[in-house]
Chain A
Amino acid sequence: MCLGIPGRILEIRDDRGLMMGQVDFGGVRREVCLAYVADEVGPGDYVVVHVGFAISRVDESEARRTFEALREMSQLEELDWMREVAEQSLATVKESRP
């Protein structure tokens, strides 16, 4: 039950004073209570949904920033690895010379 899933708000409506909405989870649509994030979301925004309730807005620019930072880090890691491999093979070449 504790698994939160990010989904995109399609439309918002009022149900007897409670803010509800249709949320799309990669093609599956569900009715979700939006009351807790009412002040900060609109159609098109992403929210984390738990047991039918949006409990947080997903900040798209933050999501992009984190991912780019991770990707950059892993690319640097790959460069390091390539350098290590290159240095090792260079050393092997040197050693194997008569």
Chain B
Amino acid sequence: MKNIIYILAFLFSTVVIAQNSALFEKGNTLYNEGEYAEAIDAYSNILETENHSAEVYFNLANAHYKLNNIAPSIYYYEKALQLEPNDADIKNNLSFAKNMTVDAIDMLPETGFSKLIKKITYAFTFDGWAKLAIAFVFLFVILFLTYYFSYSTVKKRLAFIASNGSLLLMVVSLILAFNKYGLDKNDKPAIVFSQESKVKSEPNKRSEESFRLHEGTKVQVLDTVKNWKKIKLSDGKTGWISADDIKAL
């Protein structure tokens, strides 16, 4: 009985995979023929099966870009970048899409040391850092035992230094894993979808307008009160925006 269920589950999953790759091919063909709206439909159908990949998001964003849908194209480029943070094509096309946006927002400059730490932290995902930490643990144990069991002084010395070094690296990567985990937890980017949205100083309609945002701008969500989201721009400005105007990544 159980086996039958497994077989069925396997067959079903392969059917879904086959369908999805067919849809992907169909979307690509339609895109190449310039039928972008139809291509979007095909790509969206893939996402509806709860499967995704950086390429699907990238192609979907390209199709939206071709139709001049600013917000959706930026949204899907960012989605693709989340999965493939170092892909040159995605970064390139995202910059094209960003050319269509209205808002010009400066990046808040960062000081040297925190910039370095951030750069190192973003080298891996927190899972990557966790795996690295475990690798260092094993290295440390092996080296320590080598130190303990070996008789020659040179070997002992080398093994001791190396084991201490890997212990240190383990601690560092563990700290970075926690740091990255915390950063990821607080990182709630969203894209402004409405053509023009008024950002208020308080989460209600009667409060004063702080500034205005336009379609396609990326913001960080800090807080939620009912139907309002507290957002922060990359230049440090904060305000409250209606939750309907943005879409979380």
> Are A and B associated in one complex?
no
Interface residues of B (CB under 8 A from A): none
Interface residues of A (CB under 8 A from B): none
